[in-house]
Chain A
Amino acid sequence: MIDVQSMSFSYRKNRPVLDRINLQMEAGGVYGVLGANGVGKTTLLHLLGGLLFPTAGNISVDGKKPMLRQPSFLEQVYYVPVEFDLPRVTVQAYQKRYAPFYPHFSITSWLHALETFRLAADASLSDLSFGQKKKVILSFAIASGCQILLFDEPTDGLDIPSKDSFRRLLSARIDEQRLAIIATHHVHDVAMLLDHLIVLKAQHVLLESSLEQLTTHLRTVTTVQLPDADELLYSERIPGGHHCLLRNTQGQEGPLDLELLFKALQSHPEIIQNSLPYEQHI
């Protein structure tokens, strides 16, 4: 559904943020995009949504070029940014104003999302806190019926029950026609929703893999004593012992703590080449 070919982007000349990256994403998937601050996660979402244009290379989203911003493309893409300004209208007026741009918008889903988030339709957006505004935008995204949902830090600003609500609402909207991309630092908040992982590092895609592949080859455990050096890829001390990333040699998928994997990749990116069977570009 999304095909990124040898795509580069730079805000300033000769200082690429993304350098000739390739990415393929399929409908039906929920992709997590991880990366350190400033590595280009938001930039990537902007490029996919047609808000920025590639300096070189190509992006194809459902056969269309985002930079052309054709209505047939825009009506199928919804982007939830980290920060936003909303008009000084009520929640309901906001929906009435913007829903017509999305032909598959579902009023039923919208009302259900508002109810789940405990948002009042007659509340004025200017009176709402950041977290409540975020919930309005998330509700809109979930009800939009768009095939492509782009989330930048969707759980930022949400209180704990609202994070549950978000997961429940999004989970119910995942289907074979839809693609969701979630860029985040709070990987624990969304880990159970993801089925693919993309890790960006230093202008490149460090890792692109299905979680099924990852959990077949890697697993995490918490142990009192450090396991065999043979299996051990990375570990950190915790009060009860060690939190370890291991090569998975058990012949069945294990649990995988994505936050630990991410930390391991920051300091030891070579782990991937040494423990995954397929080619990764570092």
Chain B
Amino acid sequence: MEFQAQTAIWLQIARQVATRIMAGEWPPGERIPSVRELAAELQVNPNTVVRSVTFLQDAGIIVNQRGIGYFVADDGVSKARDMRKKAFTEELLPPFFKTIDELGIQWDELKTWYQQHQNNSKS
């Protein structure tokens, strides 16, 4: 698997798991794969996944049931969305705004493109 290069791997894995939770791959209350299973799937060091999982637990997205594994929290989906949103506003928006300024793009133009994009995804 290729990892996008702008953040640490453990954080990329945490975000990927959050994305999969948002997509409903593991609904609230369901067990997510173990550290070992995730590590093998992603071909990374299990210690890296331990950090990702700890991070998701601290964010309240998953909960640990001792001896059994990690489960998606009841409000895990909205917490996962919060986490992704925070990353988006902090990391993707600044360079996006910078490019907009550089190219002198107006809000109206952006709005038109966004509407086009929405129409395209509908059809």
- Interface residue B112 (Cβ < 8 Å from any Cβ of A): no
CB distance from B44 to the nearest CB of A (A): 4
Residue of A nearest to B36 (CB): A172
Task: Please provide the chain A residues from 172 to 197 with a CB less than 8 Å away from any CB of chain B in the complex.
Answer: 172, 174-175, 192-195
CA distance A47 to B30 in the complex (A): 49
Q: Name the contact of A172 in the complex, choosing from B6, B7, B10, B39 (C-beta under 8 A).
A: B39
Most chain A Cβ neighbours within 10 Å, of B8, B36, B42, B45 = B45
Q: Name the contact of B40 in the complex, choosing from A168, A220, A255 (C-beta under 8 A).
A: A168
Question: Contact flags (1/0) for B29-48 with A, using CB distance below 8 Å?
Answer: 00000001001111111111
Residue of A nearest to B8 (CB): A253
- Interface residue B5 (Cβ < 8 Å from any Cβ of A): yes
Question: Which chain B residues border A209 with CB–CB below 8 Å?
Answer: none
Question: Which chain B residues border A171 with CB–CB below 8 Å?
Answer: 39-40, 43-46
Q: How many residues of B contact A (CB 8 A)?
A: 19
CB distance from B14 to the nearest CB of A (A): 12
Q: Flag if A252 contacts B8 (CB, 8 Å).
A: yes
- Interface residue A65 (Cβ < 8 Å from any Cβ of B): no
* Given contacts A172-B36, A192-B48, A195-B48, A255 and B8 within 8 Å (CB-CB): yes
- Interface residue A60 (Cβ < 8 Å from any Cβ of B): no
- Interface residue A124 (Cβ < 8 Å from any Cβ of B): no
**B interface, by DSSP: helix, strand, loop or mixed?**
helix
- Interface residue B9 (Cβ < 8 Å from any Cβ of A): yes
* Given contacts A171-B40, A172-B39, A172-B40, A193 and B45 within 8 Å (CB-CB): yes
- Interface residue A215 (Cβ < 8 Å from any Cβ of B): yes
Most chain B Cβ neighbours within 10 Å, of A167, A222, A252 = A167
Q: Flag if B43 contacts A254 (CB, 8 Å).
A: no
Question: Contact flags (1/0) for B79-120 with A, using CB distance below 8 Å?
Answer: 000000000000000000000000000000000000000000
Q: Flag if A255 contacts B6 (CB, 8 Å).
A: yes
- Interface residue A156 (Cβ < 8 Å from any Cβ of B): no
**B: which residues have CB within 8 A of A?**
3, 5-11, 36, 39-48
Question: Which 8 A-B residue pairings sit nearest by Cβ, starting from the closest?
Answer: A167-B43, A253-B8, A192-B44, A172-B40, A171-B39, A168-B40, A171-B40, A255-B5
**A: which residues have CB within 8 A of B?**
28, 30, 164, 167-169, 171-172, 174-175, 192-195, 215, 220-222, 252-255, 257
Given A172-B39, A253-B8, 4 more pairs with CB closer than 8 A: A168-B41, A175-B46, A193-B43, A254-B8
CB pairs A–B below 8 angstroms (12 shown): A30-B45, A164-B43, A171-B40, A172-B36, A174-B46, A175-B46, A192-B45, A192-B48, A215-B8, A253-B11, A255-B8, A255-B9
